[in-house]
Structure 1
Amino acid sequence: MGFREVGDAIRRQRVLLGVTQPDLAEIAGVSVNTLCNIERGQANPTLKVLLQLAEVLGLELKLMIKSPGEVTK
């Protein structure tokens, strides 16, 4: 999953919950600018920021580590 897909998932959940960008940013402890960039797929957020957003939005963040030589689907 790339940055664009992560941003799309965050935006979809935020809109589904009826939360504005400024409100989500404040609750999650990130700047509105950072959230906007994440939602547009134009940011490289830290794991901490992604976990903060996921927690507020009720999302689960999964980390998958592929083995050397494994092909990503």
Structure 2
Amino acid sequence: METVSVLGLEIRRARKDAGLTQGELADLAEVSERTVRALETATGNPSLRAVASVLNVLGLKLGVGR
């Protein structure tokens, strides 16, 4: 799904802009580093809680609907 790939790119960009490693972001979001990697590469099936936690740490919001 294209939207998931775009979200992954935005998460990676925001993480790098914040000067965080994947491990640091994982610690702050209370998820595994593997989950952060899965979000950034649009692989796996992370929970909505994990997605929300990572977005919250990075100050991003998930746009829903049109």
Q: TM-score range by the shorter chain?
A: 0.7 to 0.9
Amino acid at match of 1:18: G
Equivalence for 2:38? 37
Amino acid at match of 2:57: V
The runs of 5 or more residues in structure 2 that have no matched partner are none
- Using structure 2 for the length normalisation, give the TM-score: 0.85
CA contact (8 A) 2:38 2:46 kept: no
Provide the aligned C-alpha RMSD in A.
1.5
Higher helix share: 2
Aligned positions, number: 65
- Using structure 1 for the length normalisation, give the TM-score: 0.78
Is the partner of 1:2 in helix, strand or coil? helix
Equivalence for 2:28? 27
CA contact (8 A) 1:3 1:43 kept: no
CA contact (8 A) 2:29 2:53 kept: yes
The runs of 5 or more residues in structure 1 that have no matched partner are 67-73
Give the distance between the partners of 2:28 and 2:5, measured in 1 at CA: 22
Identical-pair percentage: 35
Is the partner of 2:7 in helix, strand or coil? helix
Output one character per residue of 1:3-60: Cα deviation in whole Å (capped at 9) or x when no partner: 2111111000000110111000011011001111111111332221111011100111
Amino acid at match of 2:16: V
